[in-house]
Chain A
Protein backbone atom coordinates (compact mmCIF):
# COMPACT_ATOMS: atom_id res chain seq x y z
CA UNK A 1 0.00 0.00 0.00
CA UNK A 2 1.21 3.52 -0.74
CA UNK A 3 2.24 5.42 2.31
CA UNK A 4 2.02 9.08 1.37
CA UNK A 5 -0.29 9.23 -1.61
CA UNK A 6 -0.73 12.66 -3.12
CA UNK A 7 -2.73 13.93 -6.03
CA UNK A 8 -0.84 13.09 -9.21
CA UNK A 9 -1.15 16.60 -10.65
CA UNK A 10 0.46 18.00 -7.53
CA UNK A 11 3.52 15.80 -7.60
CA UNK A 12 5.59 18.56 -9.22
CA UNK A 13 4.65 21.20 -6.66
CA UNK A 14 7.05 22.08 -3.82
CA UNK A 15 6.47 20.08 -0.64
CA UNK A 16 5.28 23.07 1.39
CA UNK A 17 2.67 23.95 -1.27
CA UNK A 18 1.38 20.38 -1.27
CA UNK A 19 1.18 20.41 2.52
CA UNK A 20 -0.60 23.78 2.55
CA UNK A 21 -3.13 22.56 -0.03
CA UNK A 22 -3.66 19.35 1.92
CA UNK A 23 -4.19 21.43 5.08
CA UNK A 24 -6.79 23.54 3.26
CA UNK A 25 -8.61 20.49 1.91
CA UNK A 26 -8.68 18.91 5.39
CA UNK A 27 -9.91 22.21 6.89
CA UNK A 28 -12.66 22.41 4.25
CA UNK A 29 -13.71 18.87 5.08
CA UNK A 30 -13.75 19.66 8.82
CA UNK A 31 -15.82 22.79 8.07
CA UNK A 32 -18.32 20.66 6.15
CA UNK A 33 -18.46 18.18 9.02
CA UNK A 34 -19.13 21.00 11.52
CA UNK A 35 -21.86 22.40 9.26
CA UNK A 36 -23.52 19.00 8.77
CA UNK A 37 -23.21 18.18 12.47
CA UNK A 38 -24.89 21.43 13.52
CA UNK A 39 -27.77 20.91 11.08
CA UNK A 40 -28.12 17.28 12.22
CA UNK A 41 -28.67 18.59 15.76
CA UNK A 42 -31.57 20.75 14.51
CA UNK A 43 -33.52 20.94 17.81
CA UNK A 44 -30.57 22.81 19.31
CA UNK A 45 -30.61 25.17 16.33
CA UNK A 46 -34.32 25.85 16.80
CA UNK A 47 -33.67 26.65 20.47
CA UNK A 48 -30.92 29.05 19.49
CA UNK A 49 -33.22 30.87 17.04
CA UNK A 50 -35.85 31.20 19.77
CA UNK A 51 -33.24 32.54 22.20
CA UNK A 52 -32.14 35.07 19.56
CA UNK A 53 -35.70 36.29 19.08
CA UNK A 54 -36.22 36.70 22.84
CA UNK A 55 -32.93 38.59 23.26
CA UNK A 56 -33.84 40.91 20.45
CA UNK A 57 -37.33 41.63 21.77
CA UNK A 58 -36.05 42.42 25.27
CA UNK A 59 -33.04 44.51 24.21
CA UNK A 60 -34.94 46.22 21.38
CA UNK A 61 -37.69 47.26 23.79
CA UNK A 62 -35.11 48.49 26.30
CA UNK A 63 -33.30 50.71 23.80
CA UNK A 64 -36.52 52.05 22.31
CA UNK A 65 -37.51 53.26 25.82
CA UNK A 66 -34.07 54.81 26.35
CA UNK A 67 -34.12 56.36 22.89
CA UNK A 68 -37.61 57.76 23.39
CA UNK A 69 -36.45 59.66 26.47
CA UNK A 70 -33.72 61.48 24.42
CA UNK A 71 -32.24 62.93 27.58
CA UNK A 72 -29.86 65.78 26.71
CA UNK A 73 -26.21 65.20 27.62
CA UNK A 74 -26.59 61.40 27.71
CA UNK A 75 -25.82 58.63 25.29
CA UNK A 76 -29.52 58.39 24.54
CA UNK A 77 -29.41 61.77 22.86
CA UNK A 78 -27.02 60.39 20.27
CA UNK A 79 -28.94 57.21 19.46
CA UNK A 80 -29.86 56.70 15.79
CA UNK A 81 -33.40 57.62 14.88
CA UNK A 82 -34.22 54.05 13.82
CA UNK A 83 -33.33 52.79 17.28
CA UNK A 84 -30.84 50.11 18.14
CA UNK A 85 -32.86 47.02 17.30
CA UNK A 86 -31.07 46.43 13.95
CA UNK A 87 -27.66 46.99 15.57
CA UNK A 88 -28.35 44.55 18.39
CA UNK A 89 -29.87 42.17 15.87
CA UNK A 90 -26.46 41.97 14.18
CA UNK A 91 -24.26 41.81 17.28
CA UNK A 92 -26.46 39.16 18.89
CA UNK A 93 -26.52 37.27 15.57
CA UNK A 94 -22.71 37.04 15.77
CA UNK A 95 -22.51 36.26 19.51
CA UNK A 96 -25.24 33.61 19.51
CA UNK A 97 -23.88 31.98 16.35
CA UNK A 98 -20.26 31.65 17.46
CA UNK A 99 -19.39 28.13 18.62
CA UNK A 100 -17.65 28.03 22.01
CA UNK A 101 -14.57 26.43 20.51
CA UNK A 102 -12.58 27.15 23.69
CA UNK A 103 -14.49 24.36 25.43
CA UNK A 104 -13.44 21.84 22.75
CA UNK A 105 -9.81 22.91 23.16
CA UNK A 106 -10.06 22.62 26.94
CA UNK A 107 -11.75 19.23 26.73
CA UNK A 108 -9.23 17.76 24.31
CA UNK A 109 -6.23 19.09 26.25
CA UNK A 110 -7.50 18.04 29.68
CA UNK A 111 -8.89 14.64 28.70
CA UNK A 112 -5.77 13.64 26.80
CA UNK A 113 -7.68 13.21 23.51
CA UNK A 114 -5.11 15.63 22.13
CA UNK A 115 -2.56 12.80 21.97
CA UNK A 116 -4.79 10.88 19.57
CA UNK A 117 -5.22 14.02 17.46
CA UNK A 118 -1.46 14.57 17.30
CA UNK A 119 -1.14 11.17 15.64
CA UNK A 120 -2.64 12.71 12.52
CA UNK A 121 -0.61 14.50 9.87
CA UNK A 122 -2.69 17.69 9.95
CA UNK A 123 -2.82 20.58 12.42
CA UNK A 124 -5.07 19.73 15.33
CA UNK A 125 -5.94 23.38 16.04
CA UNK A 126 -6.72 24.13 12.40
CA UNK A 127 -9.18 21.23 12.18
CA UNK A 128 -10.88 22.20 15.46
CA UNK A 129 -11.28 25.82 14.38
CA UNK A 130 -12.50 24.77 10.92
CA UNK A 131 -15.08 22.44 12.44
CA UNK A 132 -16.23 25.19 14.82
CA UNK A 133 -16.46 27.56 11.85
CA UNK A 134 -18.74 25.05 10.13
CA UNK A 135 -20.98 24.90 13.20
CA UNK A 136 -20.97 28.70 13.41
CA UNK A 137 -21.94 28.98 9.73
CA UNK A 138 -24.88 26.62 10.30
CA UNK A 139 -26.09 28.74 13.22
CA UNK A 140 -25.72 31.96 11.22
CA UNK A 141 -27.73 30.45 8.38
CA UNK A 142 -30.43 29.25 10.79
CA UNK A 143 -30.73 32.57 12.61
CA UNK A 144 -30.51 34.77 9.49
CA UNK A 145 -34.18 34.39 8.44
CA UNK A 146 -35.28 35.38 11.95
CA UNK A 147 -33.02 38.44 11.83
CA UNK A 148 -34.32 39.48 8.41
CA UNK A 149 -37.91 38.91 9.47
CA UNK A 150 -37.41 41.10 12.53
CA UNK A 151 -35.97 43.91 10.37
CA UNK A 152 -39.04 43.75 8.14
CA UNK A 153 -41.55 43.49 11.00
CA UNK A 154 -39.94 46.39 12.87
CA UNK A 155 -40.05 48.40 9.64
CA UNK A 156 -36.34 49.25 9.80
CA UNK A 157 -35.21 47.61 6.54
CA UNK A 158 -31.84 49.23 5.75
CA UNK A 159 -31.62 48.27 2.07
CA UNK A 160 -29.86 45.42 0.26
CA UNK A 161 -26.50 47.19 0.09
CA UNK A 162 -26.34 47.64 3.85
CA UNK A 163 -27.36 44.03 4.39
CA UNK A 164 -24.62 42.78 2.04
CA UNK A 165 -21.98 44.92 3.82
CA UNK A 166 -23.27 43.69 7.17
CA UNK A 167 -23.13 40.03 6.18
CA UNK A 168 -19.56 40.38 4.88
CA UNK A 169 -18.40 42.12 8.06
CA UNK A 170 -20.32 39.63 10.22
CA UNK A 171 -18.39 36.78 8.59
CA UNK A 172 -15.16 38.60 9.42
CA UNK A 173 -16.53 39.15 12.93
CA UNK A 174 -17.13 35.47 13.64
CA UNK A 175 -13.69 34.57 12.30
CA UNK A 176 -12.17 37.00 14.80
CA UNK A 177 -14.41 35.69 17.59
CA UNK A 178 -13.41 32.08 16.83
CA UNK A 179 -9.73 33.00 16.88
CA UNK A 180 -10.13 34.85 20.18
CA UNK A 181 -11.95 31.87 21.70
CA UNK A 182 -9.34 29.49 20.27
CA UNK A 183 -6.66 31.52 22.03
CA UNK A 184 -8.62 31.23 25.26
CA UNK A 185 -8.99 27.48 24.71
CA UNK A 186 -5.26 27.05 24.11
CA UNK A 187 -4.57 28.52 27.56
CA UNK A 188 -5.71 25.10 28.84
CA UNK A 189 -2.19 23.86 28.16
CA UNK A 190 -1.03 25.95 31.12
CA UNK A 191 -4.04 26.79 33.31
CA UNK A 192 -6.19 23.67 32.66
CA UNK A 193 -9.51 25.50 33.15
CA UNK A 194 -10.32 28.20 30.61
CA UNK A 195 -13.49 29.64 32.16
CA UNK A 196 -11.80 32.63 33.89
CA UNK A 197 -9.99 33.64 30.68
CA UNK A 198 -13.17 33.10 28.65
CA UNK A 199 -15.16 35.37 30.98
CA UNK A 200 -12.56 38.13 30.72
CA UNK A 201 -12.56 37.95 26.91
CA UNK A 202 -16.37 37.91 26.83
CA UNK A 203 -16.59 41.02 28.99
CA UNK A 204 -14.01 42.81 26.83
CA UNK A 205 -15.97 41.72 23.77
CA UNK A 206 -19.18 43.13 25.25
CA UNK A 207 -17.60 46.45 26.23
CA UNK A 208 -14.98 47.12 23.55
CA UNK A 209 -16.88 45.30 20.83
CA UNK A 210 -20.09 47.18 21.60
CA UNK A 211 -22.48 44.27 22.07
CA UNK A 212 -25.36 46.37 23.43
CA UNK A 213 -24.51 49.83 22.07
CA UNK A 214 -22.40 51.05 19.13
CA UNK A 215 -18.83 52.03 20.01
CA UNK A 216 -19.40 55.22 18.00
CA UNK A 217 -21.37 56.39 21.05
CA UNK A 218 -18.27 56.13 23.26
CA UNK A 219 -16.14 59.20 23.85
CA UNK A 220 -12.49 59.86 24.69
CA UNK A 221 -10.02 57.10 25.55
CA UNK A 222 -12.71 54.41 25.66
CA UNK A 223 -13.63 55.12 22.05
CA UNK A 224 -9.96 55.10 20.97
CA UNK A 225 -9.32 51.85 22.82
CA UNK A 226 -12.45 50.18 21.45
CA UNK A 227 -11.72 51.12 17.83
CA UNK A 228 -8.10 49.96 18.12
CA UNK A 229 -9.05 46.61 19.69
CA UNK A 230 -9.88 43.45 17.72
CA UNK A 231 -13.30 43.41 19.42
CA UNK A 232 -14.54 46.31 17.28
CA UNK A 233 -14.04 44.09 14.25
CA UNK A 234 -15.97 41.29 15.91
CA UNK A 235 -19.16 43.14 16.78
CA UNK A 236 -18.95 46.93 16.42
CA UNK A 237 -18.18 47.23 12.71
CA UNK A 238 -20.76 44.66 11.52
CA UNK A 239 -23.37 46.28 13.79
CA UNK A 240 -22.50 49.74 12.52
CA UNK A 241 -22.85 48.50 8.92
CA UNK A 242 -26.57 47.84 9.36
CA UNK A 243 -27.14 51.35 10.72
CA UNK A 244 -25.45 52.90 7.71
CA UNK A 245 -21.84 52.94 6.56
CA UNK A 246 -20.07 54.45 3.58
CA UNK A 247 -18.06 52.20 1.22
CA UNK A 248 -14.88 53.91 2.48
CA UNK A 249 -15.75 53.09 6.11
CA UNK A 250 -16.66 49.58 5.03
CA UNK A 251 -13.24 49.17 3.35
CA UNK A 252 -11.51 50.48 6.49
CA UNK A 253 -13.51 48.08 8.70
CA UNK A 254 -12.72 45.17 6.41
CA UNK A 255 -9.00 46.06 6.40
CA UNK A 256 -9.02 46.18 10.21
CA UNK A 257 -10.67 42.77 10.33
CA UNK A 258 -8.13 41.27 7.91
CA UNK A 259 -5.23 42.76 9.87
CA UNK A 260 -6.54 41.45 13.20
CA UNK A 261 -7.28 38.06 11.64
CA UNK A 262 -3.65 37.78 10.54
CA UNK A 263 -2.37 38.90 13.96
CA UNK A 264 -4.67 36.59 15.94
CA UNK A 265 -4.04 33.63 13.61
CA UNK A 266 -0.29 34.10 14.04
CA UNK A 267 -0.67 34.25 17.84
CA UNK A 268 -2.91 31.15 17.81
CA UNK A 269 -0.32 29.31 15.70
CA UNK A 270 2.53 30.29 18.04
CA UNK A 271 0.64 29.46 21.23
CA UNK A 272 -0.54 26.17 19.76
CA UNK A 273 3.01 25.29 18.77
CA UNK A 274 4.23 26.04 22.30
CA UNK A 275 1.39 24.02 23.85
CA UNK A 276 1.94 21.02 21.59
CA UNK A 277 5.69 21.16 22.29
CA UNK A 278 4.86 21.11 26.02
CA UNK A 279 2.61 18.09 25.52
CA UNK A 280 5.22 16.23 23.49
CA UNK A 281 7.75 16.94 26.25
CA UNK A 282 5.62 16.32 29.34
CA UNK A 283 2.78 14.09 28.15
CA UNK A 284 -0.90 14.93 27.79
CA UNK A 285 -2.17 14.58 31.32
Chain B
Protein backbone atom coordinates (compact mmCIF):
# COMPACT_ATOMS: atom_id res chain seq x y z
CA UNK B 1 0.00 0.00 0.00
CA UNK B 2 1.62 3.24 -1.17
CA UNK B 3 1.12 6.16 1.17
CA UNK B 4 0.73 9.73 -0.10
CA UNK B 5 0.59 11.36 3.34
CA UNK B 6 1.93 10.22 6.69
CA UNK B 7 1.29 12.36 9.75
CA UNK B 8 2.60 11.51 13.21
CA UNK B 9 1.68 13.49 16.32
CA UNK B 10 1.56 16.75 14.35
CA UNK B 11 1.18 19.80 16.58
CA UNK B 12 0.89 23.55 16.13
CA UNK B 13 0.74 26.09 18.91
CA UNK B 14 0.22 29.73 17.98
CA UNK B 15 1.82 32.37 20.18
CA UNK B 16 -0.29 35.50 20.12
CA UNK B 17 0.57 38.86 21.71
CA UNK B 18 -1.89 39.80 24.43
CA UNK B 19 -3.52 43.17 23.81
CA UNK B 20 -3.59 45.49 26.81
CA UNK B 21 -6.38 47.91 27.52
CA UNK B 22 -6.08 51.57 28.41
CA UNK B 23 -4.62 54.65 26.75
CA UNK B 24 -1.02 53.40 26.98
CA UNK B 25 -1.86 49.74 26.50
CA UNK B 26 -0.29 49.65 23.07
CA UNK B 27 2.96 51.18 24.33
CA UNK B 28 3.10 48.82 27.33
CA UNK B 29 2.50 45.92 25.00
CA UNK B 30 5.44 47.04 22.89
CA UNK B 31 7.81 47.46 25.86
CA UNK B 32 6.70 44.45 27.87
CA UNK B 33 5.00 42.06 25.49
CA UNK B 34 2.93 39.25 26.95
CA UNK B 35 1.81 36.25 24.96
CA UNK B 36 -0.93 33.68 25.10
CA UNK B 37 -0.47 30.26 23.60
CA UNK B 38 -3.19 28.58 21.57
CA UNK B 39 -2.90 24.92 20.64
CA UNK B 40 -4.56 24.84 17.20
CA UNK B 41 -3.49 21.25 16.47
CA UNK B 42 -2.72 19.16 19.51
CA UNK B 43 -1.18 15.99 18.10
CA UNK B 44 -2.86 14.41 15.09
CA UNK B 45 -1.75 11.21 13.39
CA UNK B 46 -3.10 9.63 10.22
CA UNK B 47 -2.07 8.13 6.89
CA UNK B 48 -3.61 8.74 3.47
CA UNK B 49 -3.15 6.15 0.74
CA UNK B 50 -2.13 7.25 -2.77
CA UNK B 51 -5.29 7.79 -4.82
CA UNK B 52 -7.53 8.05 -1.77
CA UNK B 53 -10.12 10.86 -1.47
CA UNK B 54 -10.31 12.12 2.10
CA UNK B 55 -12.36 14.86 3.72
CA UNK B 56 -11.05 16.69 6.76
CA UNK B 57 -13.99 18.29 8.52
CA UNK B 58 -14.66 19.98 11.81
CA UNK B 59 -16.35 23.03 13.33
CA UNK B 60 -14.80 26.47 12.80
CA UNK B 61 -11.50 26.78 14.68
CA UNK B 62 -11.15 23.00 15.02
CA UNK B 63 -7.69 22.93 13.43
CA UNK B 64 -8.46 21.52 9.98
CA UNK B 65 -7.10 24.50 8.01
CA UNK B 66 -3.99 24.57 10.21
CA UNK B 67 -3.48 20.88 9.46
CA UNK B 68 -3.86 21.46 5.72
CA UNK B 69 -1.42 24.39 5.84
CA UNK B 70 1.17 22.26 7.60
CA UNK B 71 0.71 19.47 5.05
CA UNK B 72 1.15 21.87 2.13
CA UNK B 73 4.26 23.46 3.64
CA UNK B 74 3.03 27.00 4.32
CA UNK B 75 3.05 26.58 8.10
CA UNK B 76 5.77 25.13 10.28
CA UNK B 77 4.58 22.62 12.87
CA UNK B 78 5.54 23.10 16.52
CA UNK B 79 6.08 19.37 16.87
CA UNK B 80 5.53 16.00 15.28
CA UNK B 81 6.25 14.98 11.71
CA UNK B 82 4.58 15.04 8.30
CA UNK B 83 5.62 13.33 5.11
CA UNK B 84 3.80 14.32 1.92
CA UNK B 85 4.74 12.43 -1.25
CA UNK B 86 8.17 11.78 0.22
CA UNK B 87 8.81 15.42 1.14
CA UNK B 88 8.93 17.13 4.52
CA UNK B 89 6.57 20.02 3.72
CA UNK B 90 8.04 22.72 5.97
CA UNK B 91 11.61 22.05 4.77
CA UNK B 92 10.94 21.26 1.10
CA UNK B 93 8.09 23.64 0.31
CA UNK B 94 9.25 24.58 -3.18
CA UNK B 95 10.02 21.02 -4.29
CA UNK B 96 6.68 19.86 -2.90
CA UNK B 97 4.88 22.66 -4.76
CA UNK B 98 5.56 20.89 -8.08
CA UNK B 99 3.73 17.79 -6.82
CA UNK B 100 0.63 19.33 -5.24
CA UNK B 101 -2.28 21.37 -6.57
CA UNK B 102 -4.29 23.64 -4.32
CA UNK B 103 -7.71 25.22 -4.80
CA UNK B 104 -9.03 27.78 -2.36
CA UNK B 105 -12.75 28.29 -2.84
CA UNK B 106 -12.54 31.86 -1.63
CA UNK B 107 -9.22 32.87 -3.19
CA UNK B 108 -8.59 33.02 -6.89
CA UNK B 109 -5.26 32.29 -8.50
CA UNK B 110 -6.47 33.69 -11.84
CA UNK B 111 -6.31 37.32 -12.92
CA UNK B 112 -9.92 38.56 -13.08
CA UNK B 113 -9.50 41.06 -15.92
CA UNK B 114 -7.39 38.95 -18.27
CA UNK B 115 -8.39 35.92 -20.35
CA UNK B 116 -7.99 32.67 -18.40
CA UNK B 117 -5.49 31.58 -21.07
CA UNK B 118 -3.08 34.36 -19.96
CA UNK B 119 -3.26 33.26 -16.33
CA UNK B 120 -2.60 29.68 -17.40
CA UNK B 121 0.41 30.85 -19.44
CA UNK B 122 1.90 32.38 -16.28
CA UNK B 123 1.20 29.17 -14.35
CA UNK B 124 3.07 27.28 -17.09
CA UNK B 125 6.17 29.38 -16.41
CA UNK B 126 5.74 29.26 -12.63
CA UNK B 127 5.70 25.46 -12.75
CA UNK B 128 8.34 25.33 -15.49
CA UNK B 129 6.29 23.23 -17.88
CA UNK B 130 7.52 22.45 -21.42
CA UNK B 131 5.26 23.91 -24.13
CA UNK B 132 4.22 20.59 -25.62
CA UNK B 133 3.29 18.92 -22.32
CA UNK B 134 1.52 22.05 -21.10
CA UNK B 135 -0.47 22.43 -24.33
CA UNK B 136 -1.57 18.80 -24.19
CA UNK B 137 -2.64 19.04 -20.54
CA UNK B 138 -4.49 22.31 -21.08
CA UNK B 139 -6.36 20.79 -24.04
CA UNK B 140 -7.33 17.65 -22.11
CA UNK B 141 -8.31 19.38 -18.89
CA UNK B 142 -10.26 22.18 -20.52
CA UNK B 143 -12.27 19.60 -22.48
CA UNK B 144 -12.82 17.43 -19.41
CA UNK B 145 -13.91 20.36 -17.22
CA UNK B 146 -15.98 21.98 -19.95
CA UNK B 147 -14.02 25.24 -20.10
CA UNK B 148 -12.56 24.96 -23.61
CA UNK B 149 -14.90 27.72 -24.81
CA UNK B 150 -14.06 29.95 -21.86
CA UNK B 151 -10.28 30.21 -22.20
CA UNK B 152 -10.42 33.60 -23.91
CA UNK B 153 -12.80 35.07 -21.36
CA UNK B 154 -11.63 36.91 -18.23
CA UNK B 155 -12.67 35.03 -15.05
CA UNK B 156 -14.19 38.30 -13.81
CA UNK B 157 -16.91 37.91 -16.44
CA UNK B 158 -17.57 34.20 -15.80
CA UNK B 159 -20.20 32.69 -13.52
CA UNK B 160 -18.91 31.39 -10.18
CA UNK B 161 -19.22 27.80 -11.37
CA UNK B 162 -17.27 28.50 -14.57
CA UNK B 163 -14.61 30.35 -12.59
CA UNK B 164 -14.23 27.49 -10.13
CA UNK B 165 -13.84 24.99 -12.97
CA UNK B 166 -11.08 27.22 -14.39
CA UNK B 167 -9.46 27.39 -10.93
CA UNK B 168 -9.38 23.60 -10.75
CA UNK B 169 -7.95 23.35 -14.27
CA UNK B 170 -5.26 25.85 -13.21
CA UNK B 171 -4.38 23.75 -10.18
CA UNK B 172 -4.02 20.59 -12.30
CA UNK B 173 -1.96 21.98 -15.20
CA UNK B 174 1.38 20.92 -13.70
CA UNK B 175 0.17 17.35 -13.13
CA UNK B 176 0.09 17.22 -9.33
CA UNK B 177 -0.13 13.85 -7.58
CA UNK B 178 -2.04 15.34 -4.65
CA UNK B 179 -4.85 17.87 -4.72
CA UNK B 180 -5.78 20.01 -1.70
CA UNK B 181 -9.28 21.49 -2.03
CA UNK B 182 -10.37 24.06 0.52
CA UNK B 183 -14.14 24.68 0.26
CA UNK B 184 -14.22 24.11 -3.52
CA UNK B 185 -17.99 24.55 -3.87
CA UNK B 186 -18.56 27.51 -1.56
CA UNK B 187 -21.03 30.01 -3.01
CA UNK B 188 -21.99 27.84 -6.02
CA UNK B 189 -25.54 26.94 -7.04
CA UNK B 190 -26.78 23.34 -6.84
CA UNK B 191 -26.03 22.51 -10.49
CA UNK B 192 -22.54 23.98 -10.41
CA UNK B 193 -21.77 22.16 -7.16
CA UNK B 194 -22.86 18.85 -8.66
CA UNK B 195 -20.71 19.45 -11.74
CA UNK B 196 -17.62 20.32 -9.68
CA UNK B 197 -18.05 17.21 -7.51
CA UNK B 198 -18.39 14.98 -10.60
CA UNK B 199 -15.31 16.54 -12.19
CA UNK B 200 -13.17 16.10 -9.08
CA UNK B 201 -14.25 12.49 -8.56
CA UNK B 202 -13.71 11.56 -12.22
CA UNK B 203 -10.37 13.37 -12.42
CA UNK B 204 -9.10 11.60 -9.30
CA UNK B 205 -10.30 8.19 -10.53
CA UNK B 206 -8.77 8.70 -13.98
CA UNK B 207 -5.36 10.06 -12.91
CA UNK B 208 -5.08 8.30 -9.54
CA UNK B 209 -4.73 11.65 -7.81
CA UNK B 210 -5.01 11.78 -4.04
CA UNK B 211 -7.59 14.34 -2.91
CA UNK B 212 -7.69 16.02 0.49
CA UNK B 213 -10.78 18.18 0.84
CA UNK B 214 -12.18 20.45 3.51
CA UNK B 215 -15.76 21.61 3.26
CA UNK B 216 -18.75 22.61 5.31
CA UNK B 217 -21.02 21.17 2.63
CA UNK B 218 -21.86 17.62 3.60
CA UNK B 219 -22.69 16.71 -0.01
CA UNK B 220 -19.07 17.46 -1.02
CA UNK B 221 -17.93 14.94 1.55
CA UNK B 222 -20.59 12.40 0.67
CA UNK B 223 -20.20 12.53 -3.10
CA UNK B 224 -16.46 13.05 -3.46
CA UNK B 225 -14.72 11.41 -0.51
CA UNK B 226 -14.47 7.81 0.58
CA UNK B 227 -13.11 8.62 4.01
CA UNK B 228 -13.73 11.33 6.61
CA UNK B 229 -11.43 12.62 9.30
CA UNK B 230 -13.22 14.74 11.90
CA UNK B 231 -11.08 17.17 13.85
CA UNK B 232 -12.22 19.03 16.93
CA UNK B 233 -10.19 21.17 19.34
CA UNK B 234 -7.03 20.20 17.49
CA UNK B 235 -7.51 16.44 17.83
CA UNK B 236 -8.90 13.73 15.59
CA UNK B 237 -12.19 12.55 17.03
CA UNK B 238 -13.26 10.31 14.17
CA UNK B 239 -11.51 8.71 11.21
CA UNK B 240 -13.45 6.24 9.13
CA UNK B 241 -15.03 5.44 5.78
CA UNK B 242 -17.78 7.85 4.71
CA UNK B 243 -20.32 5.08 4.31
CA UNK B 244 -19.45 3.44 7.62
CA UNK B 245 -19.58 6.78 9.37
CA UNK B 246 -23.06 7.41 8.12
CA UNK B 247 -24.30 3.94 9.14
CA UNK B 248 -22.52 3.90 12.48
CA UNK B 249 -23.33 7.37 13.55
CA UNK B 250 -26.98 7.53 12.69
CA UNK B 251 -28.98 4.42 13.33
CA UNK B 252 -31.85 5.96 11.41
CA UNK B 253 -33.55 5.55 8.05
CA UNK B 254 -35.80 7.88 6.16
CA UNK B 255 -38.91 6.31 4.62
CA UNK B 256 -40.53 8.60 2.05
CA UNK B 257 -44.08 7.68 1.03
CA UNK B 258 -45.94 9.33 -1.87
CA UNK B 259 -49.67 8.83 -1.48
CA UNK B 260 -52.98 9.78 -3.10
CA UNK B 261 -54.13 11.10 0.25
CA UNK B 262 -52.58 14.42 1.20
CA UNK B 263 -51.39 13.04 4.52
CA UNK B 264 -50.51 9.63 5.96
CA UNK B 265 -50.27 8.69 9.62
CA UNK B 266 -48.14 5.83 10.92
CA UNK B 267 -48.37 5.50 14.69
CA UNK B 268 -45.47 3.29 15.82
CA UNK B 269 -42.83 3.45 18.53
CA UNK B 270 -39.55 4.75 17.12
CA UNK B 271 -41.21 6.45 14.12
CA UNK B 272 -41.54 10.21 13.85
CA UNK B 273 -43.04 12.21 11.04
CA UNK B 274 -40.89 14.93 9.53
CA UNK B 275 -42.36 18.13 8.08
CA UNK B 276 -43.14 17.45 4.41
CA UNK B 277 -45.25 18.60 1.47
CA UNK B 278 -48.83 17.41 0.76
CA UNK B 279 -49.03 13.87 -0.71
CA UNK B 280 -45.48 13.18 0.52
CA UNK B 281 -44.80 11.79 4.00
CA UNK B 282 -41.26 11.51 5.34
CA UNK B 283 -40.94 9.12 8.29
CA UNK B 284 -37.80 8.95 10.39
CA UNK B 285 -37.25 5.44 11.69
CA UNK B 286 -35.07 4.72 14.71
CA UNK B 287 -33.85 1.28 13.65
CA UNK B 288 -33.06 0.33 17.24
CA UNK B 289 -36.73 0.67 18.16
CA UNK B 290 -38.63 -0.07 14.94
CA UNK B 291 -38.05 -2.32 11.93
CA UNK B 292 -38.06 -0.58 8.55
CA UNK B 293 -40.11 -3.30 6.84
CA UNK B 294 -42.77 -2.95 9.55
CA UNK B 295 -42.96 0.78 8.89
CA UNK B 296 -43.20 0.23 5.12
CA UNK B 297 -45.90 -2.41 5.64
CA UNK B 298 -47.88 -0.06 7.89
CA UNK B 299 -47.68 2.66 5.25
CA UNK B 300 -48.73 0.31 2.44
CA UNK B 301 -51.67 -0.85 4.54
CA UNK B 302 -53.24 2.59 4.10
CA UNK B 303 -53.69 1.90 0.37
CA UNK B 304 -53.38 4.49 -2.44
CA UNK B 305 -49.57 4.53 -2.29
CA UNK B 306 -47.75 5.76 -5.42
CA UNK B 307 -44.15 5.29 -4.29
CA UNK B 308 -42.06 4.28 -1.29
CA UNK B 309 -38.33 4.88 -0.88
CA UNK B 310 -35.94 4.04 1.96
CA UNK B 311 -32.79 6.13 2.33
CA UNK B 312 -30.02 6.86 4.76
CA UNK B 313 -30.24 10.34 6.25
CA UNK B 314 -28.26 12.95 4.31
CA UNK B 315 -24.62 13.41 5.27
CA UNK B 316 -25.44 16.87 6.53
CA UNK B 317 -27.39 15.33 9.39
CA UNK B 318 -24.53 12.98 10.15
CA UNK B 319 -22.19 15.92 10.40
CA UNK B 320 -24.65 17.81 12.62
CA UNK B 321 -24.94 14.74 14.78
CA UNK B 322 -21.17 14.39 15.08
CA UNK B 323 -20.73 18.07 15.94
CA UNK B 324 -23.56 17.90 18.48
CA UNK B 325 -21.90 14.92 20.15
CA UNK B 326 -18.63 16.87 20.29
CA UNK B 327 -20.39 19.74 22.06
CA UNK B 328 -21.93 17.32 24.51
Contacts and interface: CB of A to CB of B under 8 A. Distances in A.
Contact of A2 (B90, B97, B175): B175
Given A26-B125, A36-B114, A118-B93, A7 B100 contact: no
B111 A37 contact: yes
B126 A116 contact: no
A198 to B, nearest CB: 21
A5 B130 contact: yes
A282 interface: yes
B153 to A, nearest CB: 13
Contacts of A284: 74
Contact of A127 (B90, B95, B126, B128): B126
A5 B129 contact: yes
A22 interface: yes
B94 interface: yes
A205 B119 CA distance: 34
B121 interface: yes
B176 to A, nearest CB: 8
A6 B95 CA distance: 13
B128 A280 contact: no
Contact of A3 (B74, B75, B102, B175): B175
Contact of B109 (A3, A116, A118, A281): A116
Interface stretch (A27-35, A58-66, A84-92, A213-221): A27-35
Q: How large is the interface on B (under 10, 10 to 19, 20 to 34, 35 or more residues)?
A: 35 or more
- Chain B residues touching A, majority SS: mixed
B111 A115 contact: no
Given A25-B125, A33-B122, A113-B107, A121 B207 contact: no
Nearest to A6: B128
Contacts of B69: 115, 283
A119 B104 CA distance: 11
Given A33-B111, A119-B102, A1 B175 contact: yes
Given A3-B99, A26-B122, A119 B130 contact: no
B113 A41 contact: yes
Contacts of B99: 3-4
A280 B125 contact: no
B242 interface: no
A193 interface: no
Contacts of B73: 118-119
Contacts of B207: 1
A41 B175 CA distance: 33
Contact of A37 (B95, B98, B113, B175): B113
Contacts, number: 98
Interface residues of A, number: 35
Interface string A117-142: 01111100001000000000000000
Contacts of A153: none
Nearest to A279: B74
Interface in B99-133: 99-100, 102, 104, 107, 109, 111, 113-114, 118-119, 121-122, 124-130, 133
A22 to B, nearest CB: 4
A160 interface: no
B175 A280 contact: no
| Most chain A CB inside 10 Å of its own CB: which residue of B73, B75, B175 | B75
Nearest to A27: B125
B217 interface: no
A6 B98 CA distance: 11
Interface string B50-77: 0000000000000000100100111110
| Most chain B CB inside 10 Å of its own CB: which residue of A26, A40, A283 | A283
A260 to B, nearest CB: 28
B50 to A, nearest CB: 13
7 contacts: A2-B175, A3-B99, A3-B175, A26-B125, A119-B97, A121-B128, A280-B74
Given A3-B99, A4-B128, A120-B97, 9 more contacts: A1-B177, A3-B98, A3-B175, A30-B125, A33-B114, A37-B111, A40-B113, A116-B102, A283-B75
